[in-house]
Amino acid sequence: MLKGIVIVAVGHAQYGRMAYNLALSIKAVEDISICVVKSDFSLAHLSIKQLEIFDHVVDLPGDAPIGCGAKLWANLVTPYDCTLVLDADMLWLPERPPSELFDELKDAPFTAITEGYHPDNLHEKYFLWADPDEIKSKYDIKSEKLYQWRSEVMYFKKGMDSFFELTRQIYIAPGLSTEKLYGNTTADELALVIACGMLDIHPHEYKWIPAYWYLMNGGRIPEITEIYGRFYLASFGANQASGDAIKLYDKIMKIACYKKGLPHVFPLISKKSYLPERAKM
């Protein structure tokens, strides 16, 4: 079965820069196929030579939102039978190849990061994005658990089209008075919470965390060798990138660039500096 990685880089061209960095960090570890999903101008900062890091460049479907919800359209554009979907603001760590992660996930039709679940094990630092009682009153929830899904790393096999169609329907019109917005829009994770609850879909492994995200760890930035053995990726999602996060990002990128014989040209910058909607988050 054809396996590959889809990076969603839509909206501001800075996401295209980060997608390039992520792809380079992946290729420095293993030559696996990478597809980038773009919107108008989102790859505008990349040269023709830099675009060659991607094996496929595809357009975001016209009815998809330009934002985090775009990942819910990934099944319509992926060229792969087994797809790993990654946020652009991540980097692959140097020691564990993507093929190892695909082997780990080979029996899962769908999975993603989970932090906790309702009713009795919610992670205090994360969200269901709406009140669980309202979710259960509005939607036909089959599962006993509503998981706190995180969409920065998702995996799915071909054949999950009906699931993604349901997530898109929910995302477009969730109809919940208690919804917690992501900036000024619906969080794609709310749609995952509801759709997985309706279809009784569970993660392949509870509290599967393949990426180290410092914001879920009290802002702590460990030495890079500390996270090598436990994680595949490092996540840098934040409105304000700390000095330590920038240093870690640069360190990982310099290792990847050295291996590929390329310069490190796109440093990490704070999202609030180029995304007006993030200024008050």
pLDDT band at 277 (very low <50, low <70, confident <90, very high): low
* pLDDT over 90 percentage in the chain: 84
Mean pLDDT of 125-141: 96
Please, what is the average pLDDT of the chain?
94
pLDDT at position 274, please? 57
| Distances from the Cα of 185 to the Cα of 4, 29, 124, 226, angstroms | 29, 35, 22, 35
What confidence tens digit (pLDDT) does each residue in 29-72 have? 999 999 999 999 999 999 999 999 999 999 999 999 998 899 99
Could you give the residue ranges of the DSSP H alpha helices within the chain?
13-27, 48-51, 74-77, 98-104, 132-138, 161-172, 188-199, 224-228, 243-260
pLDDT surpasses 80 at 76? yes
pLDDT surpasses 60 at 90? yes
Quick one: 3-268 is in which CATH superfamily? Spore Coat Polysaccharide Biosynthesis Protein SpsA; Chain A (3.90.550.10)
What confidence tens digit (pLDDT) does each residue in 215-263 have? 888 888 888 888 988 999 999 987 778 888 999 999 999 999 999 999 9
Domains of the chain by residue range: 3-268
pLDDT surpasses 60 at 187? yes
Tokens of 139: 């939607």
pTM of the model: 0.95
Give residues with Cβ within 8 angstroms of 198, minimum separation 6: 139, 140, 141, 142, 143, 166
pLDDT at position 278, please? 53
Q: CA-to-CA distance for 280 and 197, rounded, in angstroms?
A: 31
